[in-house]
Amino acid sequence: MVGSAIWRALEAKGYTHLIGKTSKELDLRNQQAVQEFFSQEKPEVVIDAAARVGGILANSEYPYQFLMENMQIQNNLIDFSLKTDVSKFIFLGSSCIYPKLAPQPLKEEYLLTGPLEATNEWYAVAKITGVKACEAIRKQYEKDFVSLMPTNLYGPFDNFDLKTSHVLPAMIRKFHEAKVKSEETAVSEPVELWGSGTPMREFLYVEDLAEAVVFAMENQFDDNLYNIGTGEDLTIRELAELIQKIVGHTGEILWDSTKPDGTPRKLMDVSKMTNAGWKAKTFLKDGIRKTYQWFLEYQDSFKEVKI
């Protein structure tokens, strides 16, 4: 999702000498493979949009993979970018790097000031090591290594697998399938969602993030860590009702309070990035509508691909 959005944004700006590999073409966990890639391609700028990601369920079931594989990916990219004198490195992380109960909205200086949210700490610890590695390189070698921390992302090419997806795409799929079943059976199909619906979350359309990455690539930043978001949030319940309306589902929403809620609130302070000259522009309802339309087109065009 993120890599393809950045690729499209770069092409739209006129960049032509783009180098990219899918995970099947280049296993970023493999140190030797990454070294050979850098030796052969000699990139001038590296944007690290690669990661093993997932929601609460995936993080809970695969803690070791979320910790180790993310560190392998980023460590290989960061280290060989330094060793081959890459002129600019952009590291993408996540808002989950901040403490669970940090003051809201989350400022960059809150990093490492308290315990992490238990449901995604493995991923968060890995990403924190990436942030600190880039900071260390910036300090020791005076290289232009920058870390961008996006809030919750969504958009075209998102993961809609109910076992591994994040909350927004999972809701789109659940409401869509319930809508289709209701139409087929003429019986209103309910949708069951995890938690209480009370936690608050912020969401950023992936094409906005891509624009932020291009902006960071084209400009010099004074610091090493910047939050990327909208600066606005809503409850999970409000999100569900918004998606339900856009999809056109009319059944009941059932909340399973025995399932975990995760962090109570996670809103980014985006003032540093705003002061640097960039601001998100896509409203949530518009982004969800575009994402749902992409989901429908994806189903029709790629039926052999499991979504």
- Going from N- to C-terminal start, the domains of the chain cover 2-301
pLDDT average, residue stretch 24-28:
95
Strand partners of residue 152: 203
Q: Residue 306 above 50 pLDDT?
A: no
Confidence of residue 163 (pLDDT cuts 50, 70, 90): confident
Q: What is the pLDDT of residue 56?
A: 75
pLDDT confidence bin for 162, thresholds 50/70/90:
confident
User: Any idea how long the chain is?
Assistant: 307
- Report the distance separating Cα 117 and Cα 220, nearest Å: 32
Mean of all residue pLDDT scores within the chain? 94
Closest by alpha carbon to 197, among 123, 247, 245, 257? 257
Distance CA 99, CA 264 (A): 11
Percent of the chain beyond pLDDT 90?
85
Q: Say if residue 194 carries a ligand binding annotation.
A: yes
Predicted confidence at residue 304, as pLDDT, reads 39
Predicted confidence (pLDDT) per residue in 64-73, tens digit: 999 999 999 9
pLDDT value at 261 more than 70: yes
pLDDT at 12 over 50: yes
Closest by CA position to 227, among listed 282, 272, 280? 272
Half-sphere exposure of 242 (CA within 13 A, CB side): 19
Query: Per the annotation, does 127 bind a ligand?
Result: yes
Answer yes or no: is pLDDT of 307 > 60. no
- Asked if residue 289 belongs to a known ligand binding site, the reply is no
Rounded-to-integer distance, Cα 192 and Cα 164, Å: 17
Task: Inform me whether the pLDDT recorded for 301 exceeds 60.
Answer: no
Has 93 been labeled as part of a binding site? yes
- Rounded CA-CA distance 294/286 in Å is 12
Residue identified by tokens 């339309």 is: 293
What mean pLDDT is predicted for residues 124-135? Answer: 98
Q: Residue 196: what pLDDT?
A: 95
123 in active site? yes
151 known ligand binder: yes
Q: What is the pTM assigned to this prediction?
A: 0.91
Mean pLDDT score, 160-181 = 91
Q: Output the pLDDT for position 303.
A: 44
Report long-range pairs for 171-175 (Cβ below 8 Å, ≥24 apart): 171/239, 171/240, 171/243, 172/243, 172/247, 172/288, 172/291, 172/292, 172/295, 173/295, 173/307, 175/243, 175/244, 175/247, 175/249
Name the amino acid, one letter, at 286: D
Q: What is the CATH number of domain 2-301?
A: 3.40.50.720
Is the pLDDT score of 247 beyond 80?
Answer: yes
Average pLDDT over residues 4-29: 95
What is the number of other CB atoms lying within 10 angstroms of the CB of residue 200? 17
Confidence of residue 300 (pLDDT cuts 50, 70, 90): low
Mean per-residue pLDDT, 173-181: 96
pLDDT tens string 65-111: 999 999 999 999 999 999 999 999 999 999 999 998 899 999 999 99
Provide φ and ψ at 265, rounded to 5°. Answer: -150, 145
Active-site annotation holder among 98, 123, 154, 292: 123
| Integer angstrom CA distances of residue 50 from 40, 102, 147, 216, 228 | 20, 27, 13, 17, 17
Q: Is 176 assigned to a binding site? A: no
Say if strands 200-201 and 234-235 run parallel, antiparallel, or are unpaired: antiparallel
Average pLDDT over residues 132-154: 97
Residue 240, pLDDT > 50, answer yes
